[in-house]
Amino acid sequence: MKARRQMKVQEIITKEIIHTQEDLAERLRLAGFDVTQATVSRDIKEMGLIKVPSQGDEYRYAVPTEAHPTNLQDRLRRLLREAMVSINDAENLIVIRTLPGNAHALAAVMDNCNWEEVIGTVAGDDTILLVIKPKEAVGTVLERISTLLG
């Protein structure tokens, strides 16, 4: 069922412009899949879907064409510059605020960069929580992000 659903997700986002997880969930329901927003969110993460510019200031879901490390760094740099609104830290946590609808894409790229200090990310619509270990490495991660923003 999961494989069939994810194949349908890929088909939908390649044939239609899908801006939000809710839009994708609705299209899946119309196609006969009983899904929740949480299921769609997991599918997006597992499939490594990204958000790419669409019409005007909007973004849509897309299948990444390559997962090459160089492309990941370029994609991370671009997403940080285009979508990040603010960054703050406390103890071993970093909170990144993004433009609405962009947190998941940015977090997915950060996850794929495999930074050893980042043990995990949690993304909402416009907020990403990075968990850093050890907490002394927070400065290293902040510096790396600052360099990418260059």
Strand order in the sheet with 93-98: 84-90, 93-98, 127-132, 118-123
- pTM of this prediction? 0.57
**139, 140, 145, 150: CA torsion to nearest 10:** 100
Number of domains in the chain: 2
Question: The domain spanning residue 90 has which CATH number?
Answer: 3.30.1360.40
User: Domain range for residue 138?
Assistant: 69-149
Residue (of 85, 23, 3, 18) closest to 51 by Cα position:
18
Evaluate whether 126 touches 102 at the Cβ level (below 8 Å).
Answer: yes
- Claim to verify: residue 75 and residue 144 sit in the same structural domain: yes
Question: Are 78 and 44 within one domain?
Answer: no
Q: What is the pLDDT along the chain (150 residues), one digit of tens a residue?
A: 888 998 899 899 989 999 999 999 999 999 999 999 999 999 998 888 888 887 777 888 988 764 444 567 888 998 999 999 999 999 999 999 999 988 988 998 898 888 999 999 999 999 999 999 999 999 999 999 999 998
Q: Is 6 exposed, middle or buried (0-12, 13-18, 19+ CB in 10 A)?
A: middle
